[in-house]
Amino acid sequence: MPKKIAAPPPETQPSPRPFAYRNRLLHCDGADLTSLAAEHGTPLYVYSAQQISHRFQLFAEAFASRPHTICYAVKANSSLAILRLLAKQRAGFDIVSGGELERVRKAHKPALKKVVFSGVGKQIWEIDAALNADILLFNVESEAELHLLAARAEACNKVAPFALRVNPDVFAETHPYISTGLSEHKFGIDIKAARAIYRSAKKTKWLDPAGVSVHIGSQIRKVDPFAAALTRVTSLIADLRKDGHNIRYVDAGGGLGVDYGATAFDPAKQVAKYAAALTKSLGEESAHLLLEPGRFIIAQAGALLTRVLYVKKNGTKTFIITDAGMNDLIRPALYHAHHEIIPIKQPTGKSTLTADIVGPVCESGDFFARDRTLPPVKPNDLVLLLDAGAYGMSQTSNYNSRPRPAEILIDGDITKLIRRRETMRDLLAPELL
């Protein structure tokens, strides 16, 4: 049952991070994290609905001057409750699998009409499900996929609206694992080859060349790479119009980064800069703009609450071992990503401790921070890993047979359990002896 909590003090503008000390204890909006941990256990993901909505609105306001749809990237955080929250604000969705399609259907069926389907490995059952759901746009990533889409559209008696996801060969200035817009990457179709492929698509009545799409990577902090990519796309659209195609959509993808450090960050300014750069690249182009932000909407609205199990010394090194591990938040292990880690009780003194903060998983890569200086913590203390709302829960696994964490959404004065903690029964259910 959702629970009422004391109303938070009124705020005119939510801060970029909804996690703050009140009476020396960390809160998420009005909810006291110590009480949440006592009731729901740890590790525990906690999200602020107010912050999610605020980020979505920032995006919408930044692009208010032109027709657009914000198709939230489901992979960033695919919680049904969060998808529903965004759908109610008129979000569309960027999906990359049949599973994500089902999530949108379950969260808010009418939003299926605002789904764009990306991904290099779409399978027949996924294409059929999306055709039968009458989604907005297939973002096609290869010529072979386009042929399959035409065949499946005919089999399902549907005309498939598609965009080629073009690879603009633009350097995204981000971690190599999450950069996607160079010709050496598996994503998209060489922009130079695109015009001929659109032309060939005209030969079948089962394909509707409705748009062009691009996505150059994730956690991109400068706006220039987005602008460079979209300028190339805009010029391609002009050529496609000359060829007689009725291009109605330009999909600029996602990728706008956030600040994972402790520095002051102004998301409103960041998204305004991004919108200005995209708008400039589009020039006179009037196609309906699709945007696919994930991280910018959800990263800083969420955090991972974990309890210290042990503090140990090995030689000169100190290790803080938490009950969350790399299976609960893999970003540091995968990309050496930085997450701020703060104690649940506001420190009173100035003393510090330098340590590796690590999980219980049997891998040396199971760390959240290395040689991090933080206020001293002891076993049983709670600490919070900030900015874990995006690619946190959605990248969890059961490695080491560890059940996945529970998730809580703080929505105004209501605290909702939106996913219960997994049990041993859940873990073993699919297995056969």
Ligand X SMILES: Cc1ncc(COP(=O)(O)O)c(C=O)c1O
Ligand Y SMILES: N[C@@H](CCCC[NH3+])C(=O)O
Binding interface with ligand X (CB under 6 A):
73, 76, 94, 118, 215, 218-219, 253-256, 292-296, 390
Q: How far is the CB of 298 from ligand X (least distance, A)?
A: 8
Contact partner, 118, from ligand X, ligand Y, none, Cβ < 5-8 Å per class: ligand X
Question: Which of ligand Y, ligand X, none does residue 368 bind (CB under 5 to 8 Å by kind)?
Answer: none
Say if residue 430 carries a ligand binding annotation.
Answer: no
CB of 251 to ligand X, least distance (A): 9
- Residue 302, annotated ligand binder? no
CB of residue 220 to ligand X, shortest distance in Å: 7
45 known ligand binder: no
331 is in an annotated binding site: yes
User: Cα-flanking dihedrals φ and ψ of residue 139, to 5°?
Assistant: -90, 100
Helix (H, G, I), strand (E, B) or coil at 139: strand
Query: 16 or 294, CB closer to ligand X?
Result: 294
Considering the complex, state which of residue 42 and residue 51 has its C-beta at the smaller distance from ligand X: 51
274 near 289, Cβ under 8 Å? Answer: no
CB of 367 to ligand Y, least distance (A): 16
Overall residue count recorded for the chain in this entry: 433
Q: Report how far residue 232's alpha carbon sits from residue 212's, in angstroms, rounded to the nearest whole number.
A: 11
Look up residue 410 and give its two tokens: 């703080």
Establish whether 165 is an annotated binding residue: no
Query: How many C-beta atoms lie closer than 10 Å to residue 420's C-beta?
Result: 12
> What letter represents residue 227's amino acid?
A
- The strand pair at 115-117 and 92-95 is best described as parallel
**Closest CB 5 distance from ligand Y, rounded Å:** 30
Query: Which residues are CB-contacts of 364 (< 8 A; sequence separation ≥ 6)?
Result: none
Closest-by-Cβ residue to ligand Y is 391
Of the candidates 415, 373, 433, the residue with the CA atom closest to the CA atom of residue 44 = 415
Positions of E strands within 258-366:
288-291, 302-314, 317-322, 341-343, 353-358
Determine the residue type at 172: A
Q: How many angstroms separate the Cα of 132 from the Cα of each of 109, 113, 154, 159, 231?
A: 13, 11, 12, 10, 34
Which CB sits closer to ligand X, 221 or 317? 221
Residues that bind ligand Y (CB under 6 A): 75, 178, 218-219, 331, 391, 395
CB nearer to ligand X: pick between 50 and 167: 167
Q: Is 295 annotated as a binding residue?
A: yes
Cβ proximity to ligand Y: between 75 and 122 the closer is: 75
User: Positive or negative, the Cα torsion across 325, 327, 333, 335?
Assistant: negative
362 carries an active-site annotation: yes
Residue 290 near which of ligand X, ligand Y, none (CB within 5-8 Å, type-dependent): none
Binding region = 255, 292-295, 331, 335, 363, 391
Annotated binding site for pyridoxal 5'-phosphate: 255, 292-295, 391
Which active-site residues does the annotation give?
Answer: 362
Annotated binding site for substrate: 295, 331, 335, 363, 391
